A and B are shown apart, each in its own frame.
Chain A
Amino acid sequence: MSAAGSGVVAWSGPEAGAPIGVPLVDLLDRVLGTGVVISGDLVIAIAEVPLIRLSLHALLASVSERVPAPWSDGGPL
């Protein structure tokens, strides 16, 4: 994984990577934290699930811990 080690690791698809290849933290980060939020009758209020709330807190550095953005070109997007 590291640059000092084997360099870039390309995860090459669900078959190759699903069981262990996808770092769980990156996966949760994505399936919980992104996407179009559709309001619906049975949409689980996911942030109210204790473990998920805990996970999100653990996953993401709090605002106070955040380091200055490493880009100087006004940032992405």
Chain B
Amino acid sequence: MPGLPRTTPGRSADQPCSDVASALWVFAVCHAGAFAELPSGAGHPEGGPVTLLRLDDLLSAVVQDVPSSRFSEEVLKQRLADPGELESCARTHHRTVTAAAEHGPVVPLPLATLFNGEARARAALCARLPHFHAALTRVRGREEWAVKVSLRQTGTASAPSAPQDAPGGQAGAGRAYLTRVRGRERERVARHEQAVAAAARVHRAASALAVESVQRRPHSPQITGKDRLQLMNAAYLVDRGRALDLATVLQRAGADAASADVEVEVSGPWVPYSFTEPVEAPDDSPERAGSRT
């Protein structure tokens, strides 16, 4: 029951999977014994307490029994197709991962990682044990900060309207039109280059304080709005003690960039979602990084 403290410290490694009417939602992997049970506010409201499932001597998974009636593949697909349900599921997942991270480093798993019972979960997770060990070491004592850089678009970015009464016969009007178009295009390109340079300065400033960084794919204008073009959507892995330094540096960089209509948005600290994937070969270039979905 949620709210009632369990006397057993998490789940034992040989606890059988008994309840066929439930599924196991896995939030994250953390150190064994990091906690016994999260407070009742954690986890999905329909499920049981959030506990640990022992994987090996050192690692456990942060898990919750959830009823199949709400979390079967079919039902969950329908639920996640609803914007409200998707948001609430995502926030629950995030809240729980973040709560677990208060007890030590965690490796978050993607939303809706569900298994038919503990045995199946343990088998799947144990196949990746070396990776989880490495990932926990990588993020220990560190947190993720998100930095987005956007260029505010102005009216000059839109193409000038074509001359209404010059259907091609009036060469003078056509040339004037083209000149205007080229002028605006030059201006647009210059603004863009200036903004990209500002984003690069922000990136360099943040990188100097970060242990690692990842370039995620920028958000599209559908999200940012037509009046803003996102140039950079980066995540930085930062030692916990350097967060204030990072904030100071980014504030300065943001103030410098503001004159060029460039906006710097910072959020954090995040649980290090962006730094738990296996470190790839050197071909993990910015072109590829962040494009994995």
Contact = CB atoms under 8 A, between A and B. Distances in A.
B232 interface: yes
Interface string B168-180: 0000000000000
B250 interface: yes
Contacts of A44: 73, 76-77, 80, 112, 114
B108 A8 contact: no
Given A34-B276, A52-B86, A69 B217 contact: no
A31 to B, nearest CB: 4
Interface in B105-149: 107-116, 120-121, 124-125, 128, 131-132, 135, 146, 149
Interface in A23-77: 23-44, 46-52, 55-63, 65-73, 75-77
A25 B223 contact: yes
A69 B110 contact: no
A73 B215 CA distance: 13
B289 A40 contact: no
B115 A41 contact: yes
Given A51-B83, A70-B197, A43 B203 contact: no
A3 B276 contact: no
Q: Among the interface residues B113, B248, B251, B278, which one has the most CB atoms of the partner chain A within 10 A?
A: B113
Interface in B252-293: 253-255, 257-258, 262-270, 273-274, 276-279, 284-287, 289, 291-293
B91 A36 contact: no
B40 interface: no
A65 B220 contact: yes
Q: Which 7 A-B pairs have the closest CB atoms?
A: A3-B254, A70-B199, A76-B213, A75-B286, A30-B273, A44-B112, A61-B220
19 contacts: A2-B264, A4-B255, A7-B255, A11-B269, A14-B94, A31-B90, A33-B292, A35-B107, A35-B276, A39-B124, A42-B116, A44-B77, A46-B111, A55-B86, A58-B222, A60-B218, A70-B149, A70-B231, A75-B289
